[in-house]
Structure 1
Amino acid sequence: MAFTCCHQALCGPGSIGSTLATRRGTVETFGQAARRLRGGMSLREAARRAHLDSGHLSRVEADKRPPTPLIAQALDGVYEAGGELFSLVEAHGEPWELDHGIWRPKDSELLAAAVLTTTPKAENALTLAHQWLIAEPPQVTATRAGRRIGVAQVQEVEKRVHQLRKLDDYVGGQDTHAMVTTELAATTALLRDAAYTEEIGKRLLAAIGELAQVAGWVTSDAGHHAEAERYYLVGMRAAHAGGDVAGAANNLSSLAYQVANVGDAREAVTLAKSAYAGARSAATATTKALLAERVAWAEAQIGDATAAERALGTVEEQYEHRQPADDPIWVYWLDEGEIDIMAGRVWTQLQRPLRAVPILERATAGYSDETGRETALYMTWLAESLLQANEVERAAEAATRALRLSGKAGSSRVSERLRLLRAKLAKFPGVPEVDAFEGEANASA
């Protein structure tokens, strides 16, 4: 996963006649790609299905009018193109630049399009991260066309976001992915179509930033990493536009966590450090502890024990200075047990079982089977640290508990961890606990 392009996730229409794609070695414009995908369908019928003016669609196909993200999205739906046209607009369009720093209706349309597309090419995290660090938050346009909403409606949105976040404590991403992403699309549509004051608009953007982070988290947990990356980038932009610096940092830091797990860990270190640095002056102590945890994890993934230990020290220092009354609602889950779990995982990743095992044993003792996914996931780390300490029987017992909980976890992360554990335990045939684990794994396959 490389982050090299600018504004690919959140961009506007390209210049007229610009080349937009390469197909089998032949350069295509957007119009040529649209005509190819239309195939035998008449232009009039395509326009009718996409709710477009046929004359305008004709000019777009002739590269005489620039495609917008919403037009590309509509045509993708008609042609069942899987987001191909939208990806052409966003990958080669002009950057999404605010008009004198003001959030306009077109920006809400672009945000909505970025949320709804199915095949994004979100490879601009580093660029966005550094822009976010130096940019002044844009203001939200004061009025919108359509139904007017007030404090009561935005409070309901905020309440629903937190309910979905709490649900993620008990249900895996495979089960909640569709629910959360549908909620995100609906909330983004509200931002685009409703009328509201500037203050209400900023609160809506901040709520979308939080909801996008939840969407990214559950989508990543379901194993859809490219889609999750897009949600994190959208969430960072929306939170920043709403003046929520900590929320923007949480999205960027969450993306760093995913990249550390499935991408280039060195890029993850940069992302995680950018998130911590960007929010340092605005975030609460608890929030900074959370952001520092993700720095520690990224450092562990590249094998830098000194940097990881330093980051873990920052976690403890910040958490000691927490003021819960000042914290954003989304850090409710970070407590001493979770901090211990991360420390144990870091030391396991660094293959330091003498440090990892006592921490993980103490921490996992406080987790019940009701939190199936979290308990299963954490038990896999305890099992791995026990294996590193040559405690094979105890490792197999921990892995068996994780396996039994995995059936209701609904998490690709848990499944992947168990797959890795199974391969490690297979090196110890004949150990009764290992054979029992293998038998249960075969039965549940």
Structure 2
Amino acid sequence: MEGNEDLAALMREAGFLKGDGSVGLKVFARAVSRHSDRTYTHTYVKRWLGGMVPRDDMTRRAITRALSERLGRAVGLSEVGFGTAEKVPAHLGLSYPDKAAEGIAIVGSLWQADLANTTALLNAPTNVGAWNEASLSWLVAARHDTANGSGKRRVSPGDIAGVQSMTEMFDRLDGQHGGGHARRALIEFLRTDLAALLRGSYSDETGRELFKVASQATLLGAWMSYDAGLHGLAQRYFIQALKLAESTGDRLRGASILDAMSHQATFLGKYREAANLARAARMGTETAGSPSASAHFYAMEARALARLGDAAECDRAMSAAVREFERRNPEDDPADWFAYFNEAELAAELGHCNRDLGRSVDASTYAAQSLGPTESGYVRSDFFATMVLADAYLDQGEAEQACRVALGALEIGEQLKSARCQAYVDEFRQRLDRVGNSATVRDFAEQASNTRLWHPEDARRAPNLA
């Protein structure tokens, strides 16, 4: 049975999974119920075996006590695949693993602790040193290794295609509804299905393909955690995704993860680190032949430099981004996952940069282009560009137009569960405060009061529930 193999092994040892499986599940459910003030059925047991981690500590403890009673020895939470907040080291996932096998173990522990709602992990801050160590380790890596699993299950191309399809589905959900919408469901999938494959057996060639989809799925988990405001956890997922990518030998794949780290660092106000991460991504792929990737790396560097107020260097990076973008041929570009980086996305990046440099007219021009005939294809991206446009209009003194645009963004945001979206709204609110208590502002505030994102206490609470 796939899923929580640790729990399954202990239940077999205790005699709950021999003979008629359904009878054993019912017996185990009754045993667990005796150690709790709740009643469980065989359906609950199936879910636990499938990889679902009970959210409440009472249920987790009842499961270990039922097993301890039958086995005649103490059984800990980590032994049944649940783990505890107390046993999760504060540095879990921050270090860049030396070996692929170590990386598999670490990311598995992260998924497990995440599903167990480990407070120390969910509330963890980011660590600047971890960004530096990971980027340097990736840059100087001399070789890649793939852990040849010794498990009984033989991994097939169909298994890998299944992970790819699921990752693409969650990616669409993320873009349309935000990282807080289905983040936990993705992590549950990774903890069960992907973890089982990584523990399986595979050839070197199959292993490289498996690690490609594993790195991409883990990267998506990092993005969704970042978007949900779980920044320390997201950083850990980014780092482990980078190691999985290194194990494929695909430098562009790893560079795309450094690029994502740069994005998060800029969001968190770590602008110099963000610029360096983007530069590391570019330096590590100078001969890779991907203008699309190079353009995005320059754009991320520009975003950080704009926030620093370094107009000259930002202009240099923006010009390089445009130059590389004009060279690209999506059909021949080896970094096919950068295909989303179209004209609308580039315009959005340039709009952000010009807004942050105080060039409000240029910012509104680029933001409007981003929302023009070539759509980004992502609801959340449209929200960001629309808020940049509203900011730019405010900076131009066009309060009425800015408020109209912002209301449109807030309407888009009704379907998004995203801490990043809330941050854009907060930034607009700060700009609006400088306008004063005009009739336009009062009218906007009245209409905005009916939207979720204008109430930060509601919008910020939602992402962590997913």
Match for residue 125 of structure 1? Answer: 131
2:115 matches 1:113: no
Residues 354-373 of structure 1: per-residue CA shift (max 9 Å, x gap): 32122222322347798543
Match for residue 51 of structure 2? Answer: none
Moved more, 152-161 or 226-235: 152-161
Quote the Cα distance in structure 2 between the aligned partners of 1:186 and 1:413. Answer: 28
Query: Secondary structure of the residue that 1:243 maps to in structure 2?
Result: coil
Match for residue 142 of structure 2? Answer: 136
2:279 matches 1:273: yes
2:358 matches 1:354: no
Match of 1:212 among 218, 226, 250: 218
Shift of 1:96: 4.0
Q: Check the 8 A contact 1:111/1:188 in 2, yes or no.
A: no
TM-score relative to the length of structure 1: 0.77
Shift of 1:312: 1.1
Residues 341-394 of structure 1: per-residue CA shift (max 9 Å, x gap): 110110101111132122222322347798543222211111111111111111
Match for residue 404 of structure 2? Answer: 397
Residue segments in structure 1 that go unaligned for 5+ positions in a row: 1-37, 58-70
Match of 1:406 among 405, 413, 416: 413
Q: Which amino acid letter does the alignment assign opposite residue 340 of structure 2?
A: W
Residue segments in structure 2 that go unaligned for 5+ positions in a row: 1-56, 115-119, 456-466
Match for residue 285 of structure 1? Answer: 291
Match for residue 3 of structure 2? Answer: none
TM-score relative to the length of structure 2: 0.73
Between Structure 1 and Structure 2, how many residues are aligned? Answer: 382
Quote the Cα distance in structure 1 between the aligned partners of 2:138 and 2:72. Answer: 38
Quote the Cα distance in structure 2 between the aligned partners of 1:73 and 1:197. Answer: 30
Moved more, 428-437 or 250-259: 428-437
Match for residue 235 of structure 2? Answer: 229
Shift of 1:95: 7.8
Matches of residues 154-193 of structure 1 in structure 2 within 5 Å?
154-193=160-199
Quote the Cα distance in structure 2 between the aligned partners of 1:344 and 1:335. Answer: 14
Match for residue 419 of structure 1? Answer: 426
Match for residue 300 of structure 2? Answer: 294
Shift of 1:236: 0.6
Shift of 1:49: 6.1
Match for residue 349 of structure 2? Answer: 342
The alignment yields a C-alpha RMSD, in angstroms, of: 3.3
Residues 203-244 of structure 1: per-residue CA shift (max 9 Å, x gap): 111111111221111211111111111111111111111222
Match of 1:318 among 311, 316, 324: 324
Quote the Cα distance in structure 2 between the aligned partners of 1:50 and 1:127. Answer: 46
Quote the Cα distance in structure 2 between the aligned partners of 1:357 and 1:151. Answer: 47
Match for residue 303 of structure 1? Answer: 309
Shift of 1:431: 4.1
Query: Secondary structure of the residue that 1:87 maps to in structure 2?
Result: coil
Shift of 1:279: 2.3
Quote the Cα distance in structure 2 between the aligned partners of 1:240 and 1:320. Answer: 29
Overall identity of the aligned pairs, in %: 21
Match for residue 87 of structure 2? Answer: 85
